[in-house]
Amino acid sequence: MYKSVIKPILDWIIAMFAFVILSPILFIIAVAIKIDSQGSVFFLQNRLGKNGKVFKVIKFRSMRSDSNYKTRNTMESDPRITKVGQFIRKTSLDEIPQIINILKGEMSFIGPRPPVVNYPKKYEDYTDFERQRFLVKPGISGLAAIRCREVHDWNINIPIDIEYVTNLSFKLDLKLFIASLITFFKTDNIYTISNNP
């Protein structure tokens, strides 16, 4: 009942409220990105969602538009990252547009982070055990994200994601939601192995 009915409704209500409240901040960030560098305000990337369905995750662009996005390594001194990009990455503000993904029904506030379609592997290459992480909508934050911040070791994260799916409940989501708000502006471990410009 909670997973199939209550959780999606709560996600949509909170996302709509957050979108309205954060609209001025979204506008300011968008303007800053346009002033700072040429290119689109948003960065769109195909990700794997519930049941392996591909969708486009929406983030604020933090790299130069002519950057090579194929490499997953991003360091603090990475020349591809713009000045505004440095700030929005450190404060996780680049993640805010994913509220739109929630309103579209593609994501949840809490859930496993959506992997890139071919990294760490294609959907069909995940084992039956690993595919359990795709039984729920991906989240902006989740159990693995809280425990490991942005240090992506899929051998560690996937079992944690499955632990979340197995124990999914309102109480667990509430606990992770509060923990996510507390850690939202932490700047540790954000420049790691990633494919999230």
The CA-atom distances, in angstroms, between 93 and each of 6, 87, 105, 143 are 27, 8, 21, 20
Residue 32 within any structural domain of the chain? yes
Could you tell me if residue 168 is inside a domain?
Answer: yes
**C-alpha–C-alpha distance, residues 63 and 84, integer Å:** 9
**Structural domain of 134:** 2-183
- Residue 194 in any domain: the answer is no
The C-alpha atoms of residue 118 and residue 167 are separated, in whole angstroms, by: 27
> Where does the pLDDT of residue 75 fall: very low under 50, low under 70, confident under 90, or very high at 90 and above?
low
Domain assignment present for 196: no
Model confidence pLDDT, tens digit, residues 137-166: 999 999 998 988 756 788 899 999 999 999
Q: For 94-121, how does the pLDDT look when each residue is reduced to its tens digit (9 = 90+)?
A: 999 999 999 999 999 999 999 999 999 9
Establish if 26 belongs to a structural domain.
yes
Closest CA to 18 of 136, 99, 81, 88: 99
121-136 residue pLDDT tens: 999 999 999 999 999 9
Number of structural domains found in the chain = 1
- Show the tokens assigned to 177: 């939601």
191, part of any domain: no
Q: Which amino acid is at 189?
A: N
d(CA 116, CA 106): 15
On whether residue 122 sits in a domain, the answer given is yes
